[in-house]
Homo-oligomer: A and B are copies of this chain.
Amino acid sequence: MAKLTYQQLDRCSAFAKLREMPAVQVCNELDPDRIARYELPAGGGLTFNYAARPVNERIIEGLNQLCAEQELREQFQALHEGAVMNVGEQRMVLHHLVRGRLGSDVFVNGRSQRDFYVEQQERAAVFAHGVRAGSIKGSTGKQFQTVVQIGIGGSDLGPRALYLALKRYCEAHAPSELDEEADSPSPSSSSRSPDPTLEARFISNVDPDDAAAVLAGLDPERTLFILVSKSGTTQETLTNEHLAIDWMKRNGPRSIRPRKHMVCVTAEGSPLAASDEYLDAFFIDDYIGGRYSGTSAVGGALLSLAFGPEAFSQVLEGAHEADKAATAPFAENAAMIDAAIGVYERNVLGYPSTAVLPYSQALERFPAHLQQLDMESNGKRVDREGTPVRYPTGPLVFGEPGTNGQHSFYQLLHQGTDIVPLQFIGFRRNQSSLDIEVQGSTSREKLNANLAAQVVAFAAGKADDDANKHFPGNRPGSLIYGEELNPRSLGALLAHFENKVMFQGFLWNINSFDQEGVQLGKVLTKQLLGGGERSALLAAYADILGV
């Protein structure tokens, strides 16, 4: 493979040209023809529509040239073929490989990485089948009813967002193999009918009130914990492991053996992996970053247990479809166009933030996951060689589901003094069968009518002589939509954003795969807790807070 160039964004001639081009007023450009033309498949049955983004053919061609100049396709190819793209930590970046091979396989010390990831998936699948069928039980012989994932950051936000996104769908659409399991005798005393899903909960915060709330009402004998920490040293996760063990001892029978209610997801060489006290362990490695680990065993163990391995396989399939779509030439590459327009909005138009607005309550925590994915990946001030950049990089990302957000922060989005580019997500069908027609339309129709209305309202605005009722419009928005939110489309949605963030990192020439910014806080916390010398500033704040 040819050597890649790697240069800062403002060295690109295409970037200079883009800055010279007149900006587009979305409100003047948007028409039905453009809505039909400005869209592309994004994998997993999803379509990416960018008709309401502030671009035209000329700007798009400029972005095409920019992506060529920054060698985005070549960088992505290098990445999935095992180049050390995480230069700061000198690591490969292999999260695409957990969901299928894009090119050739990658080998480490003679071992196929693809085989390693598949092996972990298969081991987690066998384990999940055993737990779900009742052949793997708690230490006092009772079937597991609840899975509690203990993890933080990437070990929490992605898995949690995915779990919530699929809970209703998997309850309503049990695949045939899950149906069989649901017929197996259940020792549960619950009066509810057998449920093909296992309830999942999450403990993340080191605040002990988090664990207290999550554990309240659970039966220790029927609870399975998944400890997720790649390093096996994460303060929050190890502390919460002890809390959970203590809780089991105090609330379970004397015979309970707490670590036999725990499986680990960790690196092979970690302290957690070294212990044989746990019920089982599934492995990840240094080539899967936390915020990119939703499709690895970090998300896989939980989703396989909660919904069955079949559902998790479909997530991987959808993600792989989106990955394949991201290898296409610019003109057919939804993730690359999405990324390039985002950089245009950030670095040419100067918009400092972007909102994620899923019109699906099941995606209630998906914006929180994207917030980590994007801000931790691209919130960087130096390029991949460590030289400070002279331009803004990753934007602030936030969001809540629609229609809820409409009754909250949309006021500022419509009529505030700053423009915030919007990323809408929608589906034609809902997940549950619950719906009702009120005043001539169903809830689903109301939801999507609101979504269509908002995209148009933001882009087109509305003139009014009363300045307080005037909508300036020209607020850009894209729309990713699909038939329904199911495991496959969810996997594609996740991977689309992962790939978009990766492409933006390539455009900015930053390393999207390390996170040195989290270190200083850890060091200072250790100083405080270690009992040694503490700086006067630390001591003053610690005193205030009773530490």
Contacts and interface: CB of A to CB of B under 8 A. Distances in A.
Interface in A490-545: 511, 514-525, 527-529, 531, 535-542, 544-545
A517 B417 CA distance: 12
Interface in A60-103: 88
A211 interface: yes
Contacts of A209: 168, 360-362, 430-432, 434
B545 A448 contact: yes
A335 to B, nearest CB: 20
Interface string A156-183: 1100000000011001000000000000
Contact of A521 (B206, B406, B435): B406
Contacts of A521: 406, 410, 414, 450, 453-454, 457
B396 A435 contact: no
A118 interface: no
A537 B458 CA distance: 12
Nearest to A36: B540
A427 to B, nearest CB: 8
Which 6 residue pairs are nearest across A and B when measured between Cβ atoms? A379-B412, A153-B407, A453-B524, A212-B432, A379-B416, A452-B541
A208 interface: yes
Interface in A182-212: 192, 204-212
A interface, size bucket: 35 or more
B388 A541 contact: no
B410 A517 contact: yes
Name, among A368, A371, A452, the residue most crowded by chain B CB atoms within 10 Å (CB to CB): A452
Interface stretch (A135-143, A235-243, A271-279): A235-243
B394 A416 contact: yes
A417 B381 contact: yes
Contact of A541 (B207, B479, B523): B479
B536 A375 contact: no
Interface in A335-388: 352-353, 359-362, 368, 371-372, 375-376, 378-382, 386-388
A452 B386 contact: no
Given A451-B545, A540-B36, A246 B436 contact: yes
A446 interface: yes
B206 A446 contact: yes
A456 B524 CA distance: 8
Name, among A157, A394, A404, the residue most crowded by chain B CB atoms within 10 Å (CB to CB): A404
B208 A444 contact: yes
B520 A396 contact: no
17 contacts: A35-B541, A154-B407, A209-B361, A209-B432, A239-B446, A379-B411, A379-B415, A381-B415, A394-B417, A396-B396, A406-B518, A428-B545, A428-B546, A429-B546, A449-B528, A453-B528, A454-B524
A407 B545 contact: no
Given A240-B443, A414-B520, 11 more contacts: A47-B544, A212-B433, A215-B434, A239-B446, A389-B417, A394-B417, A396-B398, A411-B518, A449-B525, A456-B524, A468-B516
